Structure 1
Amino acid sequence: MLEVSALGWALTIGAIVALLAIDLMAGWLRPHAVGFKEATAWSVFYVAVAIVFGLIFAWQVGWGYGTEYFAGYIVEKSLSIDNLFVFVIIISTFAVPAEHQHKVLTFGILAALVLRVIFIALGAALLSLFSFMFLIFGLVLIWTAIQLFRHRNEDPDVEDNGLVKVARRLLPTTTEYHDGHLFARVDGRRVATPLFIVLISIAGTDLLFALDSIPAVFGVTEEAYIVFVANAFALLGLRALFFLVKGLLDRLVYLSVGLAVILAFIGVKLILHWAHDLSDAIPTVSTPLSLSVIIGVLAIAIVASLIKVRRDPSATAHAGSLRVRGNRRDEDRDR
């Protein structure tokens, strides 16, 4: 079992908080439209930080844990791409001005990190107390994979977000952004701006992604520290990656299919892990094999997407949805 000292946790969390603070200050103190060069520089920086950390980590604790970190990082990075799809949908739906998109994304990353820390702690506690949680997590991932594959050509409905509905029901709102403020005073009355609704929508989306991503990363490692750093470094690069690839996301038409395959594979791995504890005759899936499968599936999905778009320029990618929207007749027809 990996043992990380209190000092190691403190240094890791301190470094991540410092990186978050830099992002937060850049977005809130100097609102601006992020250009291609700036997005590229930040993206390269965050990927480099994640790789350097992984190499140092592997050198310190061994390549067994190092492989688990890189597998977890790639899983979370690939799932974060799907997160980007939803961010694009939210920002487009609410027509967020370019100078405020940086702020929205920084908040989204911060909220996602806080939520995932909570779920990591809960997941680690449950796995240590109840071995059957590996079975539960595995079944959840397989169900998620099936739903994502079934509804791979759909996008989540922002207006169907429960938090957004509650906020609009309880708070008076305005359609003006008012220089990026969350609240403004209109005709003597304090109202919520669209930016506040956007942040509420982002928070709700982060909650759903946390529920899916934590079981997925626990499928490649049982170490809470590795789960945390893999999530943290994957999310830290999300803001810059959004501005870098938002124009290319529509081309990844098979990404949802690839993610569904990866989630199903990890779900099966978790179930095998649970069954192996009951009988040694049942095989388990090694971390190097998991890493190879994850990389292979992502590569195939990306290459197939590019080929599809080249042959059919009208093809458009979708984030995928975990449930069918619409009336009962639409649901019955879908089944």
Structure 2
Amino acid sequence: MQTLAPLWLWIVFILFVLAALFVDFIVLKKQGAHAVSVPEAMRWSAIWVALSMAFNGLLWWAFAQDQCAAIANAKALEFLTGYLIEKSLAVDNIFVFLMIFTYFSVPPAYQKRVLMIGIIGAIVLRTAMILVGGWLISQFHWVLYLFGAFLLLTGIKMWWAADKEPDLEDNPALKLLRRALRVSKHFDGERFWTTQNGARIATPLLLVVALVGFTDVIFAVDSIPAIYAVTSDPFIVLTSNIFAILGLRAMYFLLAAMAAKFHLLSYGLAVILVFIGSKMMLIDIVKIPTLASLGVVIGILGVTMFWSVRTAPAIGASKTAG
């Protein structure tokens, strides 16, 4: 697979990601362990979205200078569509993070570090998977049909399980970790290891980090094929994916505070996966324009979020009077 992106744009992207992670680490270290408030999460979410759109503007300018305005428009639209799809699928990822943190009763002050480690792991993992996926598609066109069928089945499965409460006790990764490690019953600050009765054992926070990493693997398998339904350009695939991940930590704290209001969002994400999977399976029969795909994704998200807010249970509604 080839890209029309100039070399200097690759360099700018890599430097930006490294700088963003460095700043994130500095801010994290300076602030120390503390619970992230909703206003803080909103500010950081807005910053990450603004930076992503600024990069898309730079991407458009680079292609306009190096190629032509028509190609620049197409690439910028592909980036925007891919970014929105990956950002949407990250919502389901966030709800799983919330379940993990709730299950282990992780104090909000410790969640930032776990998410930071998860983001770095996701960047490394997805970069590798994007390169492998791109090579497979370039060598074997029929892989697109497999990706499409997988997304279609995943969307149907997500719809079926949307209203079911997941049980972390049955998670095979958690069972394996508990068999392999001695784990303390209590946290020891942000440490992953502690000493108990003279022996070095794991803290619950290490299990949380491991499960977050396992979750990254599972959701990368879903999201990487989805982006290839929009574009086959590895630069667009990689950049839209990574920019969606960079704002994941801020988006987690924002959505965690509003999870109850978006209780139907999993249904919308399921429909999006079915749409993307169907598009990939029909890629050689029906060419759905990128702009149309963007409109469908925005429409599904808009309807789902609106209906979620309209039907969200009122706080205290389940309490009986008296």
Q: Give the TM-score normalised by the residue count of structure 1.
A: 0.87
Change in Cα spacing, 1:55 to 1:313, as seen in structure 2 (3 Å) is: farther
State which of 274, 299, 310 in structure 1 corresponds to 2:302. Answer: 299
Is 1:79–2:80 an aligned residue pair?
no
- Any idea what SS the aligned residue of 1:191 has? strand
1:281-320 matched pairs, under 5 angstroms:
282-309=285-312
Q: Which residue is equivalent to 1:319?
A: none
In the aligned structure 1, how far is the partner of 2:315 from the partner of 2:156?
A: 26
SS at match of 1:184: strand
Cα 1:106/1:19, change in 2 over 3 Å: same
SS at match of 1:79: helix
Is the CA contact (8 Å cut-off) linking 1:158 and 1:201 kept in structure 2?
no
Name the CA distance, whole Å, in 2 between partners of 1:59 and 1:217. Answer: 22
SS at 1:220 equivalent: coil
Equivalent of residue 53 in structure 2, options 51, 54, 59: 51
CA distance in 1, matches of 2:239, 2:84: 12
Give the corresponding residue for 2:43: 41
Instruction: Confirm or deny: 8 A CA contact 1:138 1:269 kept in the other structure.
Output: yes
Shift of 1:271: 1.1
1:243 aligns to 2:245 (yes or no):
no
Aligned with 2:312: secondary structure? helix
**2:143 & 2:93 partners in 1: Cα distance?**
25
Residue of structure 1 in register with 2:196 after alignment: 186
How much has 1:314 moved relative to structure 2?
5.9
Q: How does 1:258-269 map onto structure 2 within 5 Å?
A: 258-269=268-279
Question: Quick one: distance in 2 between partners of 1:190 and 1:41?
Answer: 40
- Corresponding position: 1:16 with 2:17: yes
Question: SS of 1:31's equivalent?
Answer: coil
Q: Which residue of 2 aligns with 1:122?
A: 132
- Whole-angstrom distance in 1 between the partners of 2:16 and 2:43: 19
1:221 deviation in Å?
A: 1.1
Question: Is 1:138 aligned to 2:148, yes or no?
Answer: yes
Give, in whole Å, the separation in 1 of the partners of 2:281 and 2:159. Answer: 20
Q: Are the equivalent residues in 1 in contact too, given 2:260–2:312 (CA < 8 A)?
A: no
| Corresponding residue for residue 2 of structure 1 | 3
- Alpha-carbon distance between aligned partners in 2 of 1:305 and 1:313, rounded to the nearest angstrom: 17
Aligned to 2:169: 159
Q: Which residue of 1 aligns with 2:123?
A: 113
Alignment-derived partner of residue 69 in structure 2: none
Q: CA deviation at 1:173?
A: 0.9
The letter for the 2-side match of 1:183 is: W
Q: In 1, are the aligned partners of 2:6 and 2:62 still within 8 Å (CA)? A: no
- For the residue of structure 1 that corresponds to 2:33, the secondary structure is coil
Residue aligning to 2:235 = 225
Structure 1 segments of 4 or more deviating over 4 A? 310-315
2:123/2:245 contact within 8 Å kept = yes
% same residue: 36
Task: Tell me which residue corresponds to 1:60.
Answer: 62
CA–CA distance in structure 1, aligned partners of residues 167 and 126 of structure 2? 23
CA deviations 1:208-264 (Å, max 9, x no partner) are 000000011111111111111111111111111122231211221221111111111
Superposition CA RMSD, Å: 1.8
Aligned-partner Cα distance in 1 for 2:316–2:87: 26
Amino acid at match of 2:307: A
What TM-score results when the alignment is normalised by the length of structure 2?
A: 0.91
How far 1:155 sits from its partner (Å)?
Answer: 3.9
User: Do the aligned residues in 2 keep the contact of 1:258 with 1:298 (CA within 8 Å)?
Assistant: yes
In the aligned structure 2, how far is the partner of 1:169 from the partner of 1:41? 41
Q: Could you tell me how far 1:48 is from its partner in structure 2?
A: 0.4
Alpha carbons 1:86, 1:156 under 8 Å: kept: no
Question: 8 Å contact 2:9–2:62 — kept in the other structure?
Answer: no
Work out whether residues 38 and 254 of structure 2, in 8 Å CA contact, stay in contact via their aligned partners in 1: yes
Gaps of 5+ in 2: 64-71
Unpaired segments ≥5 residues, structure 1 = 277-281, 316-335
- Superposition deviation, residue 313 in structure 1: 7.7
Amino acid at match of 1:119: M
Give the Cα–Cα distance (whole angstroms) in 2 for the partners of residues 165 and 306 of structure 1: 36
SS state of the match for residue 235, structure 1? helix
- Report how many aligned residue pairs link the two structures: 308
